[in-house]
């Protein structure tokens, strides 16, 4: 809506926007000086040697006249991105965290429930998890440092914070304490709803001192959508339930409440804001079946007539039958009410064919999961702006990286694009600075591949597996496994479940086995073709005895070990880098101090020499005067002895030798 209003004010049409985008792609990416220009290939260019591979692909030369020219630019941009991947543009590295931006306080704009702390989560979780999160000594095994009081930055923030605390006390979200063991600041962030804000308790420092928490149990992300097996022509119905201010309705265990404190307020200010008296203020003072939950690290259920995706406070249901869905939704709504968790009915979605969840648009006609259009356009605009300005703060680039990584969960080979950007986002201080060229190239490559993040959920399984490398057993021919032989790897009858479901048929290349040949492959299946080609033929006879779950678990373990090794290598690199930086800084400081001391000593010696020279000059002058005086005396004595008359000028000797002059005159 805001974009349309902006376009109306400026007189900008959709065609103008498309033309501007095509121009930006030309200038920033595909032009002569563009970051992706080296991966653009023309048919007119002669190939060097024999071309055995499908890639690199040339640019598209012909285009339907009914399609906008901007679409041609996007298609050529995708081809350039695939060429870059084929050329092994960058290697894979682990992801980084997403930092939040601060927001201007508005205490009355923060969403709060009518009644907070209405649900006791300890009544709905396993006992082992209850014992893990209820004991403060288990969460904070080491003593915490003394609590340092925090004060809002300015008077406006203090006023808005006072308004918010008054509202939170009124709904029962906060209690008051005189002494606490943990304290953190709070700030606000914008919500998707215009004009509304979300309060954020900034407990990063306390989290660093706490023990490692247990992982979330079956928490969905975009890769969970890849486990939905849709069939062409069969309907799927989507529903969603959103808990209103979900975290505010959860009651914190009493033993942990004094660890989650926020900045203090003056009693007088709090009384004026809330309208309570001291007595009232003192009273507020304290001194779906689990196997059908789709989760990215669990095997998807074989019966997918009813699925559930849990995304923190959002719950998404996928059904093939309307009647079953209505029954499930009634039971779920009743369970929320029994647990004391209010629903945000304005966000309820029931029996729809298209839904937005986890930042992705999922539709039935066709069965497709892809990044949300609004988020994708915002991500594209940020990428192009970064490529244009070539400067940003590490925190801003980190935020853009987090969004790209979230979308990359739909196409995991996209993670192979990022490498040098991880070093840049860790730099300090977090101020605007020039972005290195290699980081800009990674952003440019990710931008070129954004249109390929769409995933088809109803694409059939491959009926056969073709090895990417030639097998020596067949004299250099490609190795092939029919679905009938490899079927026991999976559980779906008549299909090869171990094969990745091809989203885009682009070719088979050794260096892009995880991206081109198998498109947006299922979790853990990108290594299956390489595994099939690497094992000897004798092992193929024993493959029917293995199960898909066992193979996937081994592959996941291998990937986890590799990721752990990468983390260790990165940690060692960071340590050596920090050590070398500290050593270099110490050497530079020592040299500077030595130069300063040397200069000081030199100045002192020069002053001493100059002083001694002045003393010597004075002594020489005195000796000269004394020598002249002695010479005059000697001359006078000689003249007197010879009886001659010596006429001495009074102006010359009267001041120096008056007695001798008088004697000679007589």
Tell me the pLDDT tens digit for each residue of 434-473.
999 889 989 988 888 888 888 888 776 666 665 555 445 5
Alpha helices in 409-436 (DSSP H): 420-425
Cβ-contact 532, 466 below 8 angstroms? no
Question: Residue 338: pLDDT above 70?
Answer: yes
**pLDDT of res. 491:** 37
Among residues 427, 453, 479, which one ends one of the domains?
453
Same domain as 345, residue 219 = yes
The DSSP-derived string for 21-53 is HHHHHIIIIISTTSTTGGG-B-TTSPPSS---S
Mention every residue, 6+ apart, whose C-beta is less than 8 A from residue 43.
58, 59, 61
What total number of domains does the chain contain?
A: 4
**Residue with tokens 């069965």, as numbered in its chain:** 367
Whether 110 is covered by a domain: the verdict is no
Print the domain residue range for 75. 15-89+371-453
Cα separations in angstroms, 634 against 620, 630, 637 = 21, 6, 5
Order of strands across the sheet with 455-456? 354-357, 360-363, 368-371, 455-456
- 164 and 62 in a common domain: no
Q: Are residues 590 and 508 in the same domain?
A: no
Distances (CA, A) of 480 to 40, 457, 530, 612: 33, 26, 12, 98
- 475 and 611 assigned to the same domain: no
User: Which helix (H) or strand (E) segment is 300 a member of?
Assistant: none
Q: In 10 A of CB 305, how many CB atoms?
A: 11
Cβ–Cβ under 8 Å, residues 456 and 41? no
Report cis status (omega within 30 of 0) of the bond before 13. no
What are the b/e assignments for 95-116, b being 16+ CB within 10 Å? bbeeeeeebebebebbebbeeb
Greatest mean pLDDT among 5-14, 394-403, 516-525, 554-563: 394-403
Lowest mean pLDDT among 238-252, 342-356, 500-514, 579-593: 500-514
**Nearest Cα residue to 369 out of 460, 453, 462, 461:** 453
pLDDT of residue 14: 45
Contact 222, 369 (CB under 8 A): yes
The percent of residues in the chain predicted with pLDDT above 90, rounded, is 3
Note whether residue 230 is domain-resident: yes
User: What is the C-alpha to C-alpha distance for residues 60 and 305, in angstroms, rounded to an integer?
Assistant: 42
What are the tokens at 370? 């892809």
What integer pLDDT is reported at residue 293 of this predicted model?
60
Q: Which residue has the tokens 């989290």?
A: 207
Rounded average pLDDT over 295-322: 75
Predicted local confidence at residue 424, as pLDDT: 92
Separation of alpha carbons 418 and 404, rounded Å: 10
Cβ-based neighbour number of residue 630 at 10 Å: 10
Rounded to the nearest integer, the mean pLDDT of the chain is 71
Q: Which two tokens stand for residue 166?
A: 């008054």
Among candidate residues 365, 398, 433, the one where a domain is terminated: 365
In this structure, are 226 and 131 located in the same domain?
yes
Give, as one character, the DSSP assignment of residue 308: E
Among left, alpha and beta (phi > 0; psi -120 to 50; other), residue 181 is alpha
Give the number of other CB atoms < 10 A from CB of residue 447: 25
Same domain, 147 and 278: yes
Residue 497 belongs to some domain of the structure: yes
Residue 115 domain-assigned?
no
Tokens of 283: 């009273």
pLDDT bin (cut points 50, 70, 90) of residue 422 is very high
For 204, residues 6+ apart whose C-beta sits below 8 A from its C-beta are 184
Higher-pLDDT residue of 540 and 507 is 540
- Cis link prior to 390 (omega < 30° from 0)? no
Is 664 a domain residue? no
DSSP code for 259: G
Token pair in block for residue 288: 């779906």
Mean pLDDT (whole number) for 117-136: 81
Structure token digits, residue 537: 């033929």
Element (H, E) at 248: helix 246-249
Q: What is the CA radius of gyration of the chain?
A: 40
**Cβ–Cβ under 8 Å, residues 169 and 240:** no
Each residue's pLDDT tens digit, 278-299: 667 767 777 644 555 665 556 6
Question: Angle at CA 35, nearest 5°, toward 31 and 41?
Answer: 60
Residue 654 pLDDT > 60: no
> Both 228 and 350 in a single domain?
yes
Indicate whether 163 belongs to any domain: yes
661 in a structural domain: no
Residue 423 tokens, joined: 């070093």
Quick check: 89 pLDDT over 80?
A: no
Task: Give the mean model confidence (pLDDT) for residues 552-557.
Answer: 71
Residue with tokens 């915490």: 144
Residue 225 has pLDDT above 70, yes or no: yes
Q: How far is the C-alpha of 55 from the C-alpha of 510, rounded, in Å? A: 11
Neighbour count for residue 317 (Cβ, 10 Å): 24
The verdict on 325 and 180 lying in the same domain is yes
Q: Which two tokens stand for residue 617?
A: 């000059």
Shared-domain flag, residues 426 and 472? no
Q: pLDDT at position 81, please?
A: 78
Q: Three-state SS for 455? A: strand
**Average pLDDT of the segment spanning 623-633:** 87
CA 198 to chain centre: 21
Asked if 113 and 171 touch (Cβ cutoff 8 Å), the reply is: yes
Residue 64 pLDDT: 75
pLDDT, mean of residues 69-93: 68
> Is the whole model's pTM more than 0.85, yes or no?
no
pLDDT higher than threshold 60 for residue 99: no
pLDDT band at 317 (very low <50, low <70, confident <90, very high): confident
Residues 358 and 485 both lie in one domain: no
- Shared domain check, 284 and 186: yes
Residue 7 included in any domain: no
Element (H, E) at 465: strand 464-470
Separation between Cα atoms, residue 425 and residue 93, nearest integer Å: 13
Identify the pLDDT of residue 306: 79
Among 310, 147, 184, smallest CA distance to 240 is for 310
As a whole number, mean pLDDT of residues 17-23 equals 58
User: Of 436, 531, 534, 536, whose CA–CA distance to 489 is shortest?
Assistant: 531
Q: Which residue's structure tokens are 């935020």? A: 399
Q: Are residues 342 and 416 in the same domain?
A: no
**Pick from 324, 346, 365: which residue ends a domain?**
365
DSSP per residue, 315-358: EEEEES-HHHHHHHHHHHHHHHHHTT--B-GGG-EEEESEEEET
Whose structure tokens read 């699925």?
307
pLDDT score of 382 more than 80: yes
pLDDT at 334: 84
The owner of tokens 């598209």 is 60
Which of 4-8, 100-104, 284-288, 558-562 is predicted with the least confidence, judged by mean pLDDT? 4-8
Helices (H) and strands (E) in the chain, counts: 21, 14
Asked whether 89 and 73 are in contact (CB, 8 A), the reply is: no
Task: Tell me how far apart the alpha carbons of residues 461 and 548 are, in angstroms, rounded to a whole number.
Answer: 15
High-pLDDT (> 70) share of the chain, %:
67
Question: pLDDT at residue 539 above 60?
Answer: no
Does the pLDDT at position 507 exceed 50?
Answer: no
* Residue 246 in this model has a pLDDT that exceeds 70: yes
Give the highest mean pLDDT range of 6-20, 241-255, 550-564.
241-255
């Amino acid at each position: 809506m805001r974009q349309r209003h902006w376009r109306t004010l400026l007189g900008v049409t959709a065609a103008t926007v498309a033309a501007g985008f095509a121009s930006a792609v030309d200038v920033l990416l595909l032009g002569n000086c563009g970051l992706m220009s080296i991966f653009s290939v023309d048919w007119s260019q002669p190939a060097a040697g024999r071309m055995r591979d499908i890639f690199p692909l040339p640019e598209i030369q012909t285009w339907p006249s009914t399609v906008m020219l901007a679409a041609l630019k996007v298609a050529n941009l995708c081809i350039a991105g695939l060429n870059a991947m084929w050329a092994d543009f960058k290697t894979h590295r682990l992801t980084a965290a997403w930092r939040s931006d601060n927001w201007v306080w508005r205490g009355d704009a923060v969403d709060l429930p009518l009644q907070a702390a209405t649900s006791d989560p300890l009544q709905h979780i396993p006992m082992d998890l209850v014992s893990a999160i209820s004991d403060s000594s288990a969460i904070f095994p080491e003593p915490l440092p003394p609590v340092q009081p925090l004060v809002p930055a300015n008077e406006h923030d203090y006023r808005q914070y006072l308004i918010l605390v008054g509202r939170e006390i009124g709904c029962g979200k906060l209690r008051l304490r005189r002494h606490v063991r943990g304290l953190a600041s709070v700030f606000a962030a914008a919500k998707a709803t215009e004009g509304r804000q979300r309060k954020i308790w900034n407990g990063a420092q306390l989290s660093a001192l706490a023990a490692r928490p247990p992982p979330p149990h079956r928490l969905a992300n975009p890769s969970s959508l890849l486990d939905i097996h849709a069939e062409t022509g069969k309907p799927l119905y989507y529903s969603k339930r959103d808990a209103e201010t979900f975290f505010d309705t959860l009651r914190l265990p009493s033993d942990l409440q004094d660890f989650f404190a926020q900045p203090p307020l003056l009693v007088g200010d709090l009384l004026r804001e809330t309208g309570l008296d001291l007595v009232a203020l003192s009273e507020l003072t304290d001194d779906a079946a689990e196997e059908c939950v789709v989760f990215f690290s669990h095997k998807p259920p074989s019966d997918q007539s009813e699925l559930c995706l849990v995304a923190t406070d959002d719950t998404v249901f996928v059904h093939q039958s309307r009647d079953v869905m209505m029954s499930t939704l009634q039971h779920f709504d009743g369970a929320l009410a029994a647990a004391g968790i209010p629903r945000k009915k304005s966000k309820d979605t029931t029996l729809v064919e298209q839904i937005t969840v986890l930042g992705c648009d999922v539709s039935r006609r066709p069965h497709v999961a892809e990044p949300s259009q609004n988020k994708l356009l915002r991500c594209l605009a940020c990428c192009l702006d970064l490529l244009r300005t070539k400067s940003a703060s590490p925190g801003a680039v980190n935020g853009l990286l987090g969004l790209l990584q979230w979308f990359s969960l739909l196409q995991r080979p996209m993670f192979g694009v990022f490498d040098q950007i991880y070093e840049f986002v860790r730099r300090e201080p977090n101020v605007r600075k020039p972005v290195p060229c290699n980081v800009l190239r990674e952003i440019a490559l990710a931008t070129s591949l954004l249109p390929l993040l769409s995933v088809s959920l109803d694409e059939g399984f491959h009926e056969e597996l073709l090895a990417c490398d030639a097998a020596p057993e067949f004299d250099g021919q490609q190795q092939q496994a029919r679905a009938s032989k490899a079927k026991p790897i999976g559980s779906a009858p008549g299909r090869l479940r171990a094969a990745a479901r091809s989203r885009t048929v682009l070719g088979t290349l050794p260096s892009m086995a995880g991206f081109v040949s198998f498109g947006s492959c299922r979790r853990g299946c990108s290594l299956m073709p390489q595994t099939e080609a690497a094992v000897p033929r004798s092992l193929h006879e024993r493959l029917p005895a293995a199960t898909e779950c066992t193979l996937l678990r081994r592959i996941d373990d291998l990937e986890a070990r590799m990721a752990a090794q990468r983390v260790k290598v990165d940690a060692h690199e960071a340590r050596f880098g920090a050590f070398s930086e500290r050593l270099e800084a110490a050497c530079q400081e020592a040299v500077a101090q030595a130069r300063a001391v040397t200069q000081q000593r030199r100045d002192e010696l020069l002053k001493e020499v100059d002083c001694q020279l002045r003393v010597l000059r004075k002594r020489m002058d005195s000796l000269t005067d004394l020598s002249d005086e002695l010479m005059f005396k000697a001359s006078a004595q000689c003249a007197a002895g010879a009886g001659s008359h010596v006429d001495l000028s009074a102006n010359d000797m009267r001041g120096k030798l008056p007695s001798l002059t008088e004697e000679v005159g007589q």
